[in-house]
Amino acid sequence: MTRPSTHSGYTSGIRAVVMVLAPIVIMLAFLSLWRLGLYIWQFDRVQATGEYGFVFLQGVRFDLITLAAAMIIPVSLTPLFMMGRGVFRRWRVPLLVYMTLWFGLLLFMELATPSFINQYDSRPNYLFVEYLKHYREVGATLLAEYPWQLALSAILLPLGSIAFFRVSRRLLAVDRPLHWTTVAALVPVLFVTFAVLARSSLGHRPANPSTVSLTSDHLVNDLALNSTYTVLYAIYLSQQDAEGGFHYGVMPFAEVVDVVRGEMDVDAGRFTDPQIPTLHRQDSARHRDRPYNLVIVLEESLGAEFVGRLGGLPLTPNLDRLAGEGLWFDNLYATGTRSVRGIEAVVSGFLPTPAVSVVKLNKSQRDFFTLAQLLDKHGYDTGFIYGGESHFDNMRGFFLNNGFNYVIDENDFDAQAFRGSWGVSDEDLFDKAHQKFSTYADKPFFSLVFTSSNHAPFEFPDGRIELYEPEKNTVNNAVKYADYAVGRFIERARQSSYWNNTVFIVIADHNSRVYGSSLVPIDRFHIPAVILGPDIRPEVVTTLASQIDIAPTLLSLIGVSATHPMIGRDLTRPENRRRPGRAIMQFNGTQAYMEDNNVIVLRKDLPPKTLLYRDGELQEAADDPPLVKKAIAHSLFAQTAYADRLYRLPR
């Protein structure tokens, strides 16, 4: 028997490697070509950063990371099956199917990317999978907003996958079996090579998205990744949610508490329980013989750019008028970009974290502080009124387990109500709320009323407003309708039996679309809020404020003195308006801490960045260690307070 020559073994091994790598090269070529298209589309953003080449160099790197991690096992095993033609034929089918499924995933994610960028100004992230369980709302939104994109994807996805399968089948063919010595050399070489490519770093940590955070424009940084990687990495990070997400820094918790307490500006003697670090006594700034009712109207996606009073489009004549009739916040910022983040801040006064909102996390589903929990102990009837499905984002469970006595959702509305993809219209919602509030006599009540008409696909009743633009179902027209509905509700409330002992606030949950070339697009966190009531004097609060300041302020206005763990400031007090204001904003995996115009940006695995917010833009600034300390302390406090169940009332 003649042994194969060494030269023959080398040649066969090289052919085998080329054969098994050929489908992977096709995937790499596809991702690079698609990235080129995105690059051309967003060239103005790339040009502004001056980083022309890194998008492609880092892009190839992260494409290799994705594919190496996905293919390391099948590619490393393939030489074992190439020792015989019959064995390889049986192995080739599952290998082809596996590779085709991966190509299909890559193709699907890249096809979805342009629409996601238009909506969120980033590649797909955890939001892409977070709402898949709410298929009805998401499906209706996609069909209404992206019909041609869906149709095109439905054509290109099967065609592309079939083409990849056929080409790869021709490439994956064995002309001669491999000798066992060649196989013994190839298997470890392929495994080690793919392992190194998947890690893509010889340092302490493998490469991750922070590796490409080379510019101040997060979208340009994202272009150097691929969308399959960004979604899978976001899912991986979500596994850390149980402890509040990854940490931006390190600091002893005792020091964290000292810093956070210092920013609360509460006398040391008012802290009442060492086991709950921020639990303190807040005395109401107003005395009420009978505490007032409280109604929070949380307006969906109402950013400052839609509000005339804040320099936006002329879409909110009612809100602009109400701004002159109550306590108006001119410089208020949302804590995040999702509704649950707004709920978390307004109802609980809780800080944002890199994890998802506490509305959805496990440890906050019971015995977590909310205004409803507090007011229930003060004799209030507490409830949540929503026009959609209350189980969305786990709202119903979070509320009923944390102090809310009842929930009203779309199942409780009459058949005559106008129904869109996200529930009944704002008019129907407010009519239901008005009916409920009118039933109360002497018992105080607290209600969170959450609107939904200003949500894609922007469905609302005909004939209510003069359209701002000809096409009806647009965000601008939906904002104008939402303003009409809330204005109508407030006017009805003024004539009601409950007006004279109720405080109302109309506040946005977040902006409609948070995007921009800044590390954190701060202008897109700017939101409106106005507090109204029978004895609320017209006044403008110009102090920089956060959504976490709203709940303590409302407690003062309704006349409730109480012990609670909220760290927000009561902005009815002049001393709190005179001190530097601050806002904390979570933007995907990035957090900004802003004090007046000074901003600290915190990012995973990167040092804090000190910036100046001026004329709507972030500019480079000198390091500010004391402000960095505040930023890190607040981020760590929220995570530890959640993880160790420190944000609650005494048991």
Q: What is the DSSP code string of 36-53?
A: HHHHHHTHHHHHHHT--S
pLDDT of residue 518: 79
Is the pLDDT at 639 greater than 90? The verdict is: yes
Tell me the CB-side half-sphere exposure of residue 385, using CA atoms within 13 A: 25
- Residue 242 backbone dihedrals phi, psi, to 5 degrees: -60, -25
User: For position 443, what pLDDT does the model report?
Assistant: 92
Residue 546 is given by DSSP the state E
Closest CA to 336 of 357, 312, 364: 357
Mean pLDDT, rounded, for 470-493: 96
- Name the least confident of 111-115, 182-186, 302-306: 182-186
Pairing of strands 582-587, 423-424: unpaired
User: Is residue 240 pLDDT above 60, yes or no?
Assistant: no
Mean pLDDT of 103-128: 88
Residue 95: pLDDT band (50, 70, 90) is very high
What is the average pLDDT across 532-552? 97
Q: Is the pLDDT of residue 238 over 70?
A: no
Q: Domains in the chain, please, with CATH? A: 6-239 (no CATH), 253-643 (3.40.720.10)
pLDDT at 2: 44
Contact 362, 242 (CB under 8 A): yes
User: What is the C-alpha R_g of the chain?
Assistant: 28
Dihedral, CA of residue 58, residue 223, residue 198 and residue 209, to nearest 10: 100
% of the chain surpassing 90 pLDDT: 66
pLDDT exceeds cutoff 50 at 597:
yes
pLDDT band of 651, cuts 50, 70, 90: confident
Determine the average pLDDT of the residues in 439-443.
90
Give 201's pLDDT tier (boundaries 50, 70, 90). Answer: confident
DSSP character for 271? B
pLDDT tens, position by position, 51-74: 888 888 899 999 999 999 999 999
Predicted confidence at residue 391, as pLDDT, reads 83
Average pLDDT on 593-600 reads 96
